[in-house]
A = this chain, B = another copy of it.
Amino acid sequence: MNSDSQSFGRELAAGYCDALLGAPAHGQGRLDVVADTVPAMTASGRYRWLAGLLGTLFLLVGVQGVKADEGMWLFNDLPVKQLEERYGFTPDQVWADKLMRACVRFNSGGSASFVSSNGLVLTNHHVGAETLHKLSTPERNVYDDGFLAKTWDQELPAPDLELNQLISIEDVTARVNDGITADLAPAAALAKRRENIAAIEQASLDETGLRSDVVTLFGGGKYHLYRYKKYTDVRLVFSPEAAIAFFGGDADNFEYPRYCLDACIFRVYEDGKPAHTPDFLKWSDNGPADGELVFVAGNPGRTSRIFTNEALKYQRDHRMPYVLDFLRRREVMLQQFGLAGPEQARRAQDDLFGVQNSRKAYMGMLGGLQDPAVMADKAKRQAALMAAIQADPQLQPAIAAFQTIADIQQQRAATLRTSLSMNSQVFGLVHSIVQMVTEDKKPSGSRLPAYRDSARESLERRLFSDAPLYPDLEQAVLADLLARLCETRGGDDPLCQQVLAGLSPIERARVVISGTKMFDPAARRQLAADGAEAAAESSDPLVQLAWQLDPELRVQTETTEAWAEQERQAYALIADALFATQGDSTYPDATFTLRLAFGTVKGYDEDGQWVPPMTTMADTFAHQERHAGEEAFQLPQSWIDNRHKIDPATPFNFVATPDIIGGNSGSPVVNQDLELVGLIFDGNIQSLVADFMYTDKQGRCTSVHSSAIRQALRWFYDAEELAESLGR
């Protein structure tokens, strides 16, 4: 694991151990599932894709040169030259700072922006989905039926949501590398670097009171300290019905043309009152024109554009097929669970959407890698780089680096299918506590990154959250995980036998879940308070299960971290070679930190047909009629009843060329005047290969048009006041 990613990763895991579960449902919020050999079992939890499942390398994009509208640029190193040359636009520091502070990160895995001076936050319905589900009950289904607070006191507090506003970026590379010499062994270097990072983060937190994360960029070439203002009192103001937020369902997901109001609005509070948020985005009256230059500011989760051929082949031939098997398994399991009745379906819904979204995204990515032409192109670029390296005596170390990376892929492939994976919410919480009480015996800097003091507040918010956990669903999940353990290890495996304790997986899961008290946040708090010795002697069957699995899970974590450190050093050498041969005016791979992308509103050619960049309100009703009788294409009653009010030509969704990826969901799309013209919610299927390469041939990001959001509030939701307050 990359330590910087862990330092935010630990924050993200509202659903811990659920890289798979409770995902940002669809669109760009695609997420990862199971780690390489440590399958989502550290406290970095559900959004560990952010942390680097592909090997944790956040490095510069270099095997190809940067071109066209490519790039996820750092806010302290904007692509000024490219913008001037391509578009004659020169952003200054005031422009950049204003936009930076108007942006909001959802630590549950997405992006957002301030859209009023009194704390209104705009994001996607699917980014808010986890909270919408947590706010739902059998009687009040906020997710399905939508919600509107007419007054401040009707706004619904989210149980455990943390939003971050980026305040400053500081280069701390020298401090992170302090004491690390070339002759230091990888393990020692990792430990020292971890210690330095912990100290920097703690000092910054003590000094500023701000959340302070050290982020690894360029594979260790640079380390930046990101300071965030945290908002933890977040309340729901508005969400539309799921039927229009996710209109077209799984069928339309990642497709275009689209017709989705994938938006919802929260408000941040301080001291019990709406927060004062002077750095907000104004609202564009007309939205963007076809061909207009636009910017996307958000938190792309992870890209892997530096990957070597061997690393890509590991993805193509091993990890992605493995993850897809896991996703399909969970998808079928959740569907089966939901068949028991409407309430069970509701409980499984958030997870199911997340899994289906991920499955479709992975299919798209794998499809790209399985195209021989794509891999041939990559191989050609790598061969050219290798030739340049071989021609320059100074760059020789990079040759061994390629081999190191290849070797590590082989080791990963050899252990992948027998690795331990326990993607269960309640197990994850309990296992985190068990690890935490053990790690707490060490000084903060020596602990696994998730358990450092600087991360404690956010960790505890998650571990002791009173967000709903459903024992019936958790039991079905655990039964499936135990069955999977038996399948991957074989039923005679000693760990498998120990865990089953003589029972079948189904029966064992029943005993554990019906016997545990850990669904109660107070019991989890008590477990943590009692400390390691008491936890080791707990008679709670779920705590016992966590102890049984912990030794092996720790070994997996350590092995993965060791590989990651070796790769970090190897990619740093390759990065040096790239800088040397191709210059350094580029951007690092994505790290779920704030980035700027740019491009234009633009249609594309598909199967010989031109796909225009914008859809309209009128198209939306036509789309429903084309799919009459299909559940996913049934518009909500509010739209049907108020159809007469609409201006049919109002734009609804649009596509553009900026370079985005999962994590960008909810990002504002702004024009040169920093007016909000759109809201990112998806990328088309042709864009999914963006993990590995940018393409604007057909690849596009998909947004809700600003006019559609404001007008929908008026026409369908009787929310004139809220519509008026946007951008003010």
Q: With an 8 A cutoff between CB atoms, is A627 at the interface? A: yes
Q: With an 8 A cutoff between CB atoms, is A521 at the interface? A: no
Give 1 or 0 for each of A318-329: 1 = CB within 8 Å of chain B CB: 001100110011
Q: Chain B residues near A251 (CB, 8 Å)? A: 339-340
Smallest CB-CB separation from A505: which chain B residue? B370
Does B630 lie within 8 Å of A367, measured CB to CB?
no
A329 vs B503: C-alpha distance when bound (angstroms): 28
Does A503 lie within 8 Å of B328, measured CB to CB?
no
Q: With an 8 A cutoff between CB atoms, is A371 at the interface? A: yes
Q: With an 8 A cutoff between CB atoms, is A629 at the interface? A: yes
Smallest CB-CB separation from A491: which chain B residue? B316
Q: Chain B residues near A507 (CB, 8 Å)? A: 371
Q: Which of A133-141, A482-490, A642-650, A716-724 contacts B (4 or more CB under 8 A)?
A: A482-490
Does B632 lie within 8 Å of A339, measured CB to CB?
yes
Q: With an 8 A cutoff between CB atoms, is A93 at the interface? A: no
- Chain B nearest CB, measured from A362 CB (Å): 11
- Chain B nearest CB, measured from A500 CB (Å): 6
Q: With an 8 A cutoff between CB atoms, is A359 at the interface? A: yes
Give 1 or 0 for each of A247-265: 1 = CB within 8 Å of chain B CB: 0011100000000000000
Does B367 lie within 8 Å of A504, measured CB to CB?
yes
Q: With an 8 A cutoff between CB atoms, is A242 at the interface? A: no
How many copies altogether?
Answer: 2
> Which residues between 457 and 502 of chain A lie within 8 Å of chain B, taking CB atoms?
483, 486-488, 490-492, 497, 500, 502
Does A492 lie within 8 Å of B313, measured CB to CB?
yes
Count A interface residues, CB 8 Å. 50
Q: With an 8 A cutoff between CB atoms, is A331 at the interface? A: yes
A375 vs B325: C-alpha distance when bound (angstroms): 27
- Chain B nearest CB, measured from A341 CB (Å): 7
- Chain B nearest CB, measured from A412 CB (Å): 14
A627 vs B345: C-alpha distance when bound (angstroms): 12
Q: With an 8 A cutoff between CB atoms, is A88 at the interface? A: no
A373: contacting residue among B342, B490, B502, CB under 8 A? B502
Does B370 lie within 8 Å of A504, measured CB to CB?
yes
Does B341 lie within 8 Å of A491, measured CB to CB?
no
- Chain B nearest CB, measured from A616 CB (Å): 22
A359 vs B331: C-alpha distance when bound (angstroms): 13
Q: With an 8 A cutoff between CB atoms, is A170 at the interface? A: no
Q: Chain B residues near A360 (CB, 8 Å)? A: 336
A391 vs B162: C-alpha distance when bound (angstroms): 72
Does A375 lie within 8 Å of B491, measured CB to CB?
yes
Most buried by B among A249, A369, A504, A629: A504
A250: contacting residue among B339, B486, B488, B491, CB under 8 A? B339
- Given A332-B332, A627-B341, A313:B490 Cβ within 8 A: yes
Q: With an 8 A cutoff between CB atoms, is A372 at the interface? A: yes
Q: With an 8 A cutoff between CB atoms, is A512 at the interface? A: no
Q: Chain B residues near A504 (CB, 8 Å)? A: 367-368, 370-374
- Chain B nearest CB, measured from A693 CB (Å): 15
Q: With an 8 A cutoff between CB atoms, is A317 at the interface? A: yes
Give 1 or 0 for each of A296-340: 1 = CB within 8 Å of chain B CB: 000000000000000001001100110011001101100010011
A328 vs B488: C-alpha distance when bound (angstroms): 16
Q: With an 8 A cutoff between CB atoms, is A365 at the interface? A: no
A328: contacting residue among B329, B339, B483, B502, CB under 8 A? B329
- Given A332-B359, A342-B630, A370:B483 Cβ within 8 A: yes
Smallest CB-CB separation from A321: which chain B residue? B487
Q: Chain B residues near A503 (CB, 8 Å)? A: 371-373
A490: contacting residue among B317, B328, B490, B491, CB under 8 A? B317
Smallest CB-CB separation from A329: which chain B residue? B328
A373 vs B500: C-alpha distance when bound (angstroms): 11
Q: With an 8 A cutoff between CB atoms, is A366 at the interface? A: yes
A487 vs B323: C-alpha distance when bound (angstroms): 12
Q: With an 8 A cutoff between CB atoms, is A395 at the interface? A: no
Does B250 lie within 8 Å of A336, measured CB to CB?
yes
- Chain B nearest CB, measured from A648 CB (Å): 25
A316 vs B627: C-alpha distance when bound (angstroms): 43
Give 1 or 0 for each of A588-610: 1 = CB within 8 Å of chain B CB: 00000000000000000000000
Q: Chain B residues near A317 (CB, 8 Å)? A: 486-487, 490-492
Q: Chain B residues near A332 (CB, 8 Å)? A: 328, 331-332, 359
A483: contacting residue among B366, B487, B490, B492, CB under 8 A? B366
A488 vs B318: C-alpha distance when bound (angstroms): 9
Q: Chain B residues near A313 (CB, 8 Å)? A: 490-492
- Given A328-B332, A339-B632, A359-B332, A491:B249 Cβ within 8 A: no
Does A506 lie within 8 Å of B367, measured CB to CB?
yes
Does B339 lie within 8 Å of A500, measured CB to CB?
no
- Chain B nearest CB, measured from A485 CB (Å): 10
Give 1 or 0 for each of A350-385: 1 = CB within 8 Å of chain B CB: 000000000110000011111111110000000000
A505 vs B372: C-alpha distance when bound (angstroms): 9
Smallest CB-CB separation from A312: which chain B residue? B491
Q: Chain B residues near A488 (CB, 8 Å)? A: 321
Smallest CB-CB separation from A489: which chain B residue? B317
Does A500 lie within 8 Å of B630, measured CB to CB?
no
Q: Chain B residues near A341 (CB, 8 Å)? A: 627, 630
Smallest CB-CB separation from A368: which chain B residue? B504
Smallest CB-CB separation from A486: which chain B residue? B370
Smallest CB-CB separation from A629: which chain B residue? B342
A340 vs B626: C-alpha distance when bound (angstroms): 11
- Chain B nearest CB, measured from A477 CB (Å): 15
A339 vs B497: C-alpha distance when bound (angstroms): 41
> Which residues between 224 and 268 of chain A lie within 8 Å of chain B, taking CB atoms?
249-251
Residues of A within 8 A of B (CB): 249-251, 313, 316-317, 320-321, 324-325, 328-329, 331-332, 336, 339-342, 359-360, 366-375, 483, 486-488, 490-492, 497, 500, 502-507, 627, 629-630, 632
> Could you list 14 examples of A-B contacts with CB < 8 Å?
A249-B339, A250-B339, A321-B488, A324-B329, A325-B329, A328-B329, A341-B627, A366-B487, A367-B506, A371-B503, A372-B497, A372-B502, A372-B503, A373-B502
Known A321-B488, A325-B329, A371-B504; further 20 A-B contacts with Cβ < 8 A: A250-B336, A250-B339, A251-B339, A313-B492, A316-B486, A316-B491, A317-B491, A321-B487, A324-B329, A328-B328, A328-B332, A332-B332, A367-B504, A369-B491, A371-B507, A372-B497, A372-B500, A372-B503, A373-B502, A375-B491
Closest 6 interchain pairs by CB?
A251-B339, A371-B504, A321-B487, A317-B490, A328-B328, A328-B332
